Each structure stands twice: as structure tokens, then as C-alpha cells.
Structure 1
Amino acid sequence: MIVTRFAPSPNGSLHLGHAYSAITAHDCARMGDGRFLLRIEDIDGSRSRSELADEFRADLQWLGLSWEDVPPQSTRLARYSEAAERLKATGLLYPCNCTRADIMATDPEMGPLGPIYPGHCRHNPPDPTRQKVAWRMDVAAAMEAVGPLTWIDERFGEQRMSADLMGDVVLVRKDCDTPSSYHLSATLDDAADGVTLVTRGMDLFMATHIHRLLQALLGLPSPHWYHHDLLVDDDGRKLAKRRGSPSLVDRRLAGQDGLILAADLRAGTFPAGLVLSHSLE
């Protein structure tokens, strides 16, 4: 059985890019007579707004989608902590107190997910008992520990795991309000929820290398992935809450027909100024 999920963060209203992603996940599950899950990723500290979860459900219903709710991330913190402790015990995590400004000051190499951490704290780790620290994964050591790995993307076929392209990513954040990074929490959640096909945008394609590595380290099953194209504006920028992309709730309250909108998105008929990006970046 195919099990997919849509996992929005309640830090702003959904927009058309979210609608396209939710419809993709929903339809992949339905074509396989499977299950489509809704998981609220609500551990973004003070930015998370609990009232938005019901708004999201109203948006999905307006689009004509049906789903199963699974527990939100805020109920899973103990699982994240337990996994982090297991990884620390292997010696594959190290404490880091570098800020983004510190990293940028070193003129770091840029990778597919942003600046690659130059490794200062890998060689000179701070004392985690004396200050707040993040915990990074020594990716090269982790790759050596697990050996060669592959993962399957339903569009692009078998991929060889190359997590080193992202550098030493943060798995446990310094901010205690957001204890787990996206990489760790999403990987654990997908396993716990029995997700067999992870559908998400092409902007997260390279992150999958890290997630496949974490699955191997933690003994988790490896699903298949399907990375869909992104809706972007005329300037090639993906839609984003922070740039004020028109929200679904605004369209819904204005009387737009959600079923027609969903049919248009499936057919590739997008509002003026929006196109699909086929880039792997």
C-alpha cells in the first residue's frame, strides 16, 4: 500500500505551491488505493501558530482532498531526543556554537543547501555543559560507517547517496524551543507514520541524501521519493509565505471554487505569472 503525507508548518497560511504539493501527495496515494496523511510540523518555536492547523484542514477540504490526521511533531519530542542521544553515543555528532555570521565570515564553499560548514567545531568542539550548542553530524565519518547507499526517486531513478555534498548538517538545534532539525524530525516521522512514498518539491531533492544516511544510521526503513516541480513566479522564485504569496484562505474566503482550482493545478493550468520549474536546484 502506498502511504504519502503532506506536512506543512503552521507559521503562515498555505499558498498555491502548498496546494500543488498536497494534491500531488494525495493523488499518488489515491492512484495506489493508499493512504494520504496530514502531519503538522509545529516545532518551529514561537513562529508556530496552533490555530493555523484548522485553517490548513479547511483549505484541503476546499480543494476536495481527504486525508488521515497523524500526531503533530510537538507530541514527538521524546522520540527526537532519543534518536539524537543514540547518534551522539556513536561519536558521529559533535557540538557547535558557530553562528551563521561566523560561518559566512570564513567565505565558505556553497553547497546545494547553502553554505557548507567549514568544520571549525569538528576540530575544536565547545564544551556543551557550559553553553548552549547545536549538534552537527560528521557526515564524512557517518558515510564511512554505513558504506555505499542508494535511494530511489520515482522520477529520476536510483540515486547514489552523496550526503557529503551538504557538509556537516545540524541535527539538534541550539534553540531549545526547536530541538530537532528538519532533517532528523522528518526522517523519524516518516518512519513512524509508515510513509512509503515521500512526495515533496525539487528544492528538497539534495536533502534526501542526508535523510537516506540517517535512515541507515538509525535502522529505519527507506521509502521511495517523488520530487515534484515547483510553482515559481515570473522571476523564477518559488512561492513563499515570507514574500506574501497569495494564500489559499484568501482565495477560499473570496468565493473561489476550490475544486476548479485543484482541477486546474492537476491540468497544469496556473494563474498568470506562475509556471512550473523543472530545475534540480
Structure 2
Amino acid sequence: MTTTRFAPSPTGYIHVGNLRTALMNYLIARKAGGTFILRIDDTDPERSKEEYVDAIKQDLEWLGLHWDRVERQSERLDRYAEAADKLREMGRFYEAFETPTELDLKRKKQLNMGKPPVYDRAALKLSDAEKDALRAERGNGVWRFKLDHERIEWNDGILGDISIDAASVSDPVLIRGDGQVLYTIASVVDDTEMGVTDVVRGSDHVTNTATQIQIIEALGGTCPRFAHHSLLTGPQGEALSKRLGTLALRDLREQGVQPMALLSLMARLGSSDPVELRSDMSELIDGFDINRFGAAPTKFDVQDLFPLTAKHLQSLPLADVTDAVADAGVPAELAEPFWAMARENITTLSDLKGWWDLCREGAEPLIADEDREFIAEAVALLPEGPFDAETWGTWTKAVKEATGRKGKGLFMPLRKALTGMERGPEMATLLPLLQVIRARG
């Protein structure tokens, strides 16, 4: 059975980059009728916060990305310890004591000599007595996995055939000196024991994947299918990483972005398929194909979310926005005609209040000097209320006959006088609301 996972660290809020990974794994699982695991990677006790665990769940629920079960790495430390012991017994795990400064000097020396800046495995030459002395002086060392220096190859679901020479990669640190288990081994143990069959993550993890493949094989596990999606850039191709903090999902929600607009964009961004607004999750699932995504950096512009949000809102019946209409102050008996008027003229639901204020309070008339006599004559021809859908047509016909004005010269000054704006809803639908509101007052 297909099993995927989304494995965020609870050290901050989910942003659009995280969402891309979560959505791809979710869609793969759902399309195959499989299992989607939410795995909280919380092995860092200092940076992991429970408030972020709650926030991650809230954001996924807002988007409709429902998980089948939750796992927490902090509850599985014994499993990682067992895996570490197994690697020690195999001679694939060794303790190293270099300080960050010493490692930096080694890298600089290797680069100056034209060599790849990889760990030189000096720790493997230490005697037990030397290790004891270093431990007494510096405390516990880090534990590194000893890579087999051979080519590591796999067929990537997005990047195609990948081949990495393990000799060009440092033996990865799996456990820190303070005992903290790092992502590289924890993820391997979890993916193996939880039966994860497909792993989609960012292309910045390609080297991690190479080392993890060797760790999986050393522990006797089965490698999942890997796919590495491109990284997001800004609309001009600039690095997005520094801006991701301002692109948290809760910030986008606060700005009025609708879940289906965000999901529709992220499910196609970077693929060979055009971005199309989908009406529900089932359409996203049916149309998803990981093989249609490319390796090139993918441009993301937050502004693209707002036309999609507006289009989505235009498709909704009143029943789906009843609370938002009520929150704008619209009485229940006027909700239906108000939504019919406003839906084509909003970008986000927060725009509803502005239209309700116009209906309730009117607007400052926008009248050019050359139109003042025309407007005065037109207002005198305004029929008695109550107004209905036919009133605008009846009134403008009468004004046309009386003044000789027609087309834009007729309609635009009347719109500007009534709404203070040059654009907006069909006046036939807006005028009855203006009259009703004023009559109620």
C-alpha cells in the first residue's frame, strides 16, 4: 500500500515551501488510496514548540489536508538508539571530536588543494586512549555514519536518474555530542518502520537522500521511491528563502486567500500543466502526476493567489459564505441579493464590508462640473421606490429621452454620482439595495 508522510519540524509556522512538500505527498497517497502520515520531527527539544505543533495541524486542517495518523519523533528515541547500536556493531558508526573551527580549517585546506571539502575520517585513526582523552577534554563527540565509497544511484520521480559518488560527501553526523538524534537517521528509521513507500521533498535534500539510501540498506530496510521537487524563487527569480517567514500559511489566510486557490496553484506550479482553479480536492487528486513536474527553479508570486481567490469566491453559493456576509453586517433578509451583487466585485471576503458600507451609508458623489446639471435633472426623474431589478433600466431610459445622453456619457456619470466609483457591480442589482437600505434607515 502506498504510504507517504509530511514531516515538519515544529520550530515555526508552515510556509508555502513546506506546503508544496505536504501537498505532493498528500495527493500521491490519496490518489493511490493509501496512507498519509503527519510526522512531527521534534527531536530538537530546544527549538521545538508545542504551539507550532498545534499551528501545523490547524493550517493543514484549514487546507483540508487530513492525515490518517500522527507520529512524533520525540516518542521514538528508543528506536533511534537501537538503530545506532546496530550501526556500531557493524562498524559503520564512529565517534569524532573535531571542533567546528577545526573542521572549518580542514575544509579550507582541502579547497586550497583543489580537493572536495569532505571529512577526512581522522577520527577512525584514534586509539581508545586518545578517544578517552578527547572525551575528558571536550565531552562526548559526534557520531558519524561511515559511507561506503561507491556510487549511490536511484531513479528520481522528478529529477530522473541520479548518481552521486559517496566519496564526494562527508560521512554524515547522525547524533550530536549532546545526544540529540538528527534528522538523517531518525527519518530513515521512521520511514522504514512506518512502511513509507514514497518520499517527496525539496531538491536541497538530494545529498541527504544519497546518504540515507546507504543507511537504509545498512539497517536492512527497503528504500522508498524518492522525488525531489524544485525550490521556489520569487517572481523575478530571486531567492525566496529569506522571505518565507512572510509567506506563512496563516499570514496568507489573514490576507483572505482561499484554501482552494492556494491548493490549485501549488498543485500545478512547476509542472508542465497550466494552473487551473479546481472546485474541490477530488479534482486536485485526479489531476495530479508527480512525473509532470520539472527540475528548474519555480517562480512563486503571492499576487497570483488573489485572482484565483476572486474566481473561487464568484463560484460560491450564499450558503458557503453566510458567516462572512453576516460578519460584514448584512441583515439575513438582504443576504441573498447582497451576495448576488457583491460576489463579482470582491477579491477577498474582507471586501464585503466596503460594499455593505456603500449600501448602508451611500458614498460621496463623484460629479464632474460639466455633469452637475445633468445629474440634477436625472435625480429629478428618479422614480419612487421601492426599487427593483427593472428600476435602473426604466430610469436610464427616461433620462436618455429627457437629456439626449446615451452610452458612456449617460451611464458613467450616474454610476459615479451614486457610488463614488467608476467601476463596480451591475447598477441594476446595486440600486435596489441602495434604496432598500435607505428606506430601512
Q: TM-score normalized by structure 1? A: 0.84
Counterpart for residue 123 of structure 2: 121
Structure with more of its chain in strand, by fraction:
1
Structure 2 CA distance for aligned equivalents of residues 149 and 227 of structure 1 = 16
How much has 1:173 moved relative to structure 2? 1.2
Structure 1 CA distance for aligned equivalents of residues 125 and 219 of structure 2 = 25
Query: Aligned letter for 1:188?
Result: V
How much has 1:18 moved relative to structure 2? 0.7
Counterpart for residue 216 of structure 2: 215
Counterpart for residue 278 of structure 1: 296
Residue pair 1:103, 1:118 contacting (<8 A) in 2 also: no
Query: Which digits, 9 at most, give the CA deviation of each residue in 1:146-198, with x for residues without a partner?
Result: xx76433222445446333322111111123xx21211111111112111001
- SS of residue in 2 equivalent to 1:206: helix
Query: Aligned letter for 1:263?
Result: S
Assess, with a 3 A threshold, how the Cα gap between structure 1 residues 62 and 192 changes in structure 2: closer, same or farther.
Answer: same
One of 131, 134, 141 as aligned partner of 1:133:
141
One of 165, 168, 180 as aligned partner of 2:168:
165
Residue pair 1:231, 1:277 contacting (<8 A) in 2 also: no
Counterpart for residue 197 of structure 2: 196
Residue pair 2:36, 2:68 contacting (<8 A) in 1 also: yes
Structure 2 CA distance for aligned equivalents of residues 73 and 134 of structure 1 = 20
Assess, with a 3 A threshold, how the Cα gap between structure 1 residues 157 and 195 changes in structure 2: closer, same or farther.
Answer: same
Query: Which digits, 9 at most, give the CA deviation of each residue in 1:182-231, with x for residues without a partner?
Result: 11111111112111001111110121111110111100111111111111
Equivalent pairs counted in the alignment come to: 262
Residue pair 1:37, 1:68 contacting (<8 A) in 2 also: yes
Structure 1 CA distance for aligned equivalents of residues 109 and 83 of structure 2 = 29
- SS of residue in 1 equivalent to 2:154: strand
Query: Aligned letter for 2:62?
Result: W
Query: Aligned letter for 1:75?
Result: E
How much has 1:235 moved relative to structure 2? 5.6
Structure 2 CA distance for aligned equivalents of residues 152 and 62 of structure 1 = 34
Assess, with a 3 A threshold, how the Cα gap between structure 1 residues 53 and 122 changes in structure 2: closer, same or farther.
Answer: same
Residue pair 1:151, 1:159 contacting (<8 A) in 2 also: yes
| Range 128-137 or range 92-101, more displaced | 128-137
Counterpart for residue 272 of structure 1: none
Structure with more of its chain in helix, by fraction:
2
**Structure 2: tracts of 5 or more residues without a match:** 270-274, 276-293, 298-441
How much has 1:72 moved relative to structure 2? 0.4
Structure 2 CA distance for aligned equivalents of residues 76 and 171 of structure 1 = 15
- SS of residue in 2 equivalent to 1:200: strand
- SS of residue in 1 equivalent to 2:144: strand
Larger RCO (alpha carbons 8 Å, 6+ apart):
1
CA RMSD, 1 decimal: 2.5
Residue pair 1:25, 1:199 contacting (<8 A) in 2 also: yes
- SS of residue in 1 equivalent to 2:263: helix
How much has 1:50 moved relative to structure 2? 1.5
Structure 2 CA distance for aligned equivalents of residues 277 and 232 of structure 1 = 13
Query: Aligned letter for 2:131?
Result: P
Residue pair 1:108, 1:116 contacting (<8 A) in 2 also: no
**Structure 1: tracts of 5 or more residues without a match:** 270-275
What does 1:16-95 correspond to in 2, within 5 Å?
16-95=16-95
- SS of residue in 2 equivalent to 1:11: coil
Counterpart for residue 273 of structure 1: none
Query: Aligned letter for 1:151?
Result: W
Query: Aligned letter for 1:278?
Result: A
